[in-house]
Structure 1
Amino acid sequence: MHRGTNLPAVGGYNQALILDVIRRSGEGASRVELAEKTGLSAQTLSNVSRRLLDEGLIRESGKMVTGPGKPRTILRLEPEARFAVGVHLDPTVITYVVLDLEGHVVAHSRTRTPVGTKPEETIRRLTVSVNAIIETSGIDATRILGIGIAAPGPLDAEGGQVFNPPLMTEWHNVPLGASLAASTGLPVFVEKDVTAAVAAEQWMGALGDLKNSLFFYYGTGVGAGLVVDGAVVRGASSNSGDIGHLIVDPDGPLCRCGKRGCLGDSVAPVSLVLEAIEAGLVSAPTGELDSVTVDNDFTRLLSLADEGNGHAVVIVERAARRIARGVLAIVSILDVDRVVFGGPFWDRASRAYLGVVPGAVADDPALMMTHPIRFEQSKLGADVAAIGAGCLVLDRVLSPKPTDLLI
């Protein structure tokens, strides 16, 4: 638990600290409880809470009787006082959400990611869509705190620059954050997509305490979000979680890196669709295999496997075993006890994959864990990375940062 400070020059830290404690309290907290949890003096607490009340960020919500003496007034977060926009820039689809201060989705939209388009045009479309979702949500634009973007790496999160994402070949050293900030007039924060996803799970608390966990991201590509000792792991350059080239099947398909059996190219939806085409399970496209075709054919492949089609079952179960090998390698290295699955393509594949992965991990002779591993799926659905991007903005406002104490 963070403790506050009574120095008058650090009101920003104390304000964030009190907001954070109230948010985590669920049903709200009294000033007495806030003083106990923050270590702030009664005078400092009174001054900061009054400021928060005046700004409309919190509200008084009834009285609580805890024994002899004056009833305590409960302070609660005012969810609609401010909002954040979250954007997930996936190579296949772009997802937009607006979150209130409690992280609830109050508006949502989705568009296809343009293919063969210059980044400048994609950013222009992002701007149009962000402005549109704010307008259609009916929210006062002055209440928008900023925009969070979950993007594929590698990237410079601090500088908001996207380098050379493998599945977005037109993007080279693109100043995404600065460009979108200039076109929208809002602060923009950029995060790697898999990190945003696990940050959403951690920040929202939908699955409880993810103290030592792996978030297996299954989208157009694969990735790993990590929580170790309760902290989201970002790495030296905020690019941790690239697991696409873990070799999980030496006899698997040839990867673009020149090796065989890399996790990413072995289990990506497009790879499974190509296997389905070769097996005659779905029709080969007359032109290029585009994202819409992949989306539809991947769903068709899973339906065939669910119906018991032999060829489809082989393709899907082989992919699940490859995922299991990748998961085993990561949990063994980091000694985590929880694996959470999610991402844009996960929900439709969850039943097929979760029917195989836990058992394949448990039965693998390479498993050396001294504790059980829990396997779960995200409760935030396919929009988990977009929600995480929005939470990135909320976290800047609602979570106390020790750096705020540097005066």
Structure 2
Amino acid sequence: MQGKGIMRRGSNLHALGGFNQTVVLDTIRRTPEGLSRVEIAEQTGLSAQTVSNVSRRLLDAGVIREAGIRNLGVGKPRTILQLDPSGHYSIGVHIDPAVLTFVLLNIEGEILTHTTRRTPSAADPGAVISLMRDSIEEIILSSGIDRERVLGVGIASPGPIDMARGVVMDPPLLTSWHGVALRDELETATGLFVLLEKDVTAAAVGELWKSTGSDRDDFLYFYYGTGVGVGLVLDREVVRGPTSNAGDAGHIVVDPTGPVCRCGRRGCLGDAISPVTIVRSAIDRGVIEDPGAELDTAFIDEAFSRVALLARGGDDRALGLIDNIARDVAEAIVTIVNLLDLDQVVLGGPYWGRVSDFLLARMPELINGSAALATLRRVSVTGSRIGDDGAAVGAACLVLDATLTPRSATLFIS
């Protein structure tokens, strides 16, 4: 098994050329300042000839570029290789019942375009797919990039999903989405390669892709959106599970005396801290006014922001609601980090940014001060490097990751 902070090792067998290519590319990607061919050979264990051949193919494909000469000590100066940011691109889409988010990334993971569209009707998958198609075409045209250099489209969707078939199964917050063949339908509509992933997993992929060195080798990504979930990264590989639906943390019990969840148990995390629960509690406590109508997604989004703003202003009732979020999330995280022996937690998602200051101030103390914590090292708690659009960025990174990251599974011959 690969040790912490150790680069992946390649093989000089000709039959494994594809794997070697991703090993070299991943090594270059994780060193933004660039590497010489000699340094790549040292770090990967590949022969100088193999590195030379792979580098030539990557240069010809426009994936990497020669970025000047560097004197590395004894011997002649070496040519430095870096990713070519104009070489290839990917598009990410995050599906939410209220809004669709689109991003265009270059091969370095830099966001070049960001746009949102109100979901036309979450109950109508056809309308959503049509809007996704039109928005993707608009992004490509307005950016002026060569369509041939778009590696594909990644979709971050609420689960559960059937990843093998590219089907959205029956997400609880998307009514009428029962067995929607989203991947194939969008591929047909756009003519582009499409990947489908759970939103929490996509967010973890994005966080991993944006990392350098070994600072994100093992971590838990806690996703706070309309629903909650966790993305898990172990030894720099995202944990998906046999059906690619790992990370459903919504039914971890955090308050045995809490309200009854739809699953029949009391105090489930997802129900306890969901934005709609926080907004309803805020109405019941007089923090915000009762709209006198059904709480739709637009109102919940706006009302949650108001509660967060009141908390920042020192309103004790609003602060109490946000403190409950911190306590419940910390309780769940202690359970997970104990189970997996993790010491890094990353927090993100669409609703995270509005309460991030308060949660980051409270949660390290709540987690590390818990009598139930069993890890040997202090748990680090940080905010996402990507921000509120982590799922969309992660969806685009999925395409980069699938195309450019070495996978040990590719070495098996069936």
Asked whether the two chains share a fold, i.e. TM above 0.5, the reply is: yes
Q: SS in structure 2 opposite 1:356?
A: helix
Contact 1:206 1:379 in 2 (8 A): no
Match of 1:61 among 43, 58, 67: 67
Pairwise mapping of residues 126-137 of structure 1 onto structure 2 (< 5 A)? 126-137=132-143
Give structure 2 stretches of 5+ with no counterpart.
1-6
Pairwise mapping of residues 13-162 of structure 1 onto structure 2 (< 5 A)? 13-162=19-168
1:169 aligns with 2:175: yes
Q: Which residue in 2 is equivalent to 1:283?
A: 289
The percent of aligned pairs where both chains have the same amino acid is 50
TM-score scaled by structure 2? 0.92
Output the CA distance in 1 between the equivalents of 2:171 and 2:138: 27
1:267 Cα deviation from its structure 2 partner: 0.4
1:355 aligns with 2:364: no
1:77 Cα deviation from its structure 2 partner: 1.2
Contact 2:121 2:127 in 1 (8 A): no
- Partner amino acid, structure 2, of 1:301: V
Greater Cα offset, 354-363 or 331-340: 354-363
1:95 Cα deviation from its structure 2 partner: 1.3
Q: Which residue in 2 is equivalent to 1:380?
A: 386
Contact 2:219 2:344 in 1 (8 A): yes
Distance 1:228 1:22, change over 3 A: closer
Contact 2:349 2:390 in 1 (8 A): yes
1:182 Cα deviation from its structure 2 partner: 0.7
Pairwise mapping of residues 174-189 of structure 1 onto structure 2 (< 5 A)? 174-189=180-195
Q: Deviations over 1:241-300 (max 9, x none)?
A: 101111111232332223321111110111101111122222223433122211111011
| Count of paired positions | 407
- Partner amino acid, structure 2, of 1:209: D
- Partner amino acid, structure 2, of 1:184: T
1:100 Cα deviation from its structure 2 partner: 0.6
Greater Cα offset, 41-50 or 329-338: 41-50
Distance 1:372 1:45, change over 3 A: closer
Contact 1:85 1:99 in 2 (8 A): yes
Q: SS in structure 2 opposite 1:80?
A: coil
Pairwise mapping of residues 328-407 of structure 1 onto structure 2 (< 5 A)? 328-405=334-411
Q: Which residue in 2 is equivalent to 1:324?
A: 330
- Partner amino acid, structure 1, of 2:207: E
Q: Which residue in 2 is equivalent to 1:252?
A: 258
Output the CA distance in 1 between the equivalents of 2:115 and 2:250: 28
Q: Deviations over 1:136-187 (max 9, x none)?
A: 2221211100011111111112221111111112211111111111101011
Greater Cα offset, 150-159 or 237-246: 150-159
The Cα RMSD (Å) is 2.0
1:314 Cα deviation from its structure 2 partner: 2.1
1:236 aligns with 2:236: no
Q: SS in structure 2 opposite 1:173?
A: coil
- Partner amino acid, structure 1, of 2:56: R
Distance 1:29 1:374, change over 3 A: same
Contact 2:342 2:375 in 1 (8 A): no
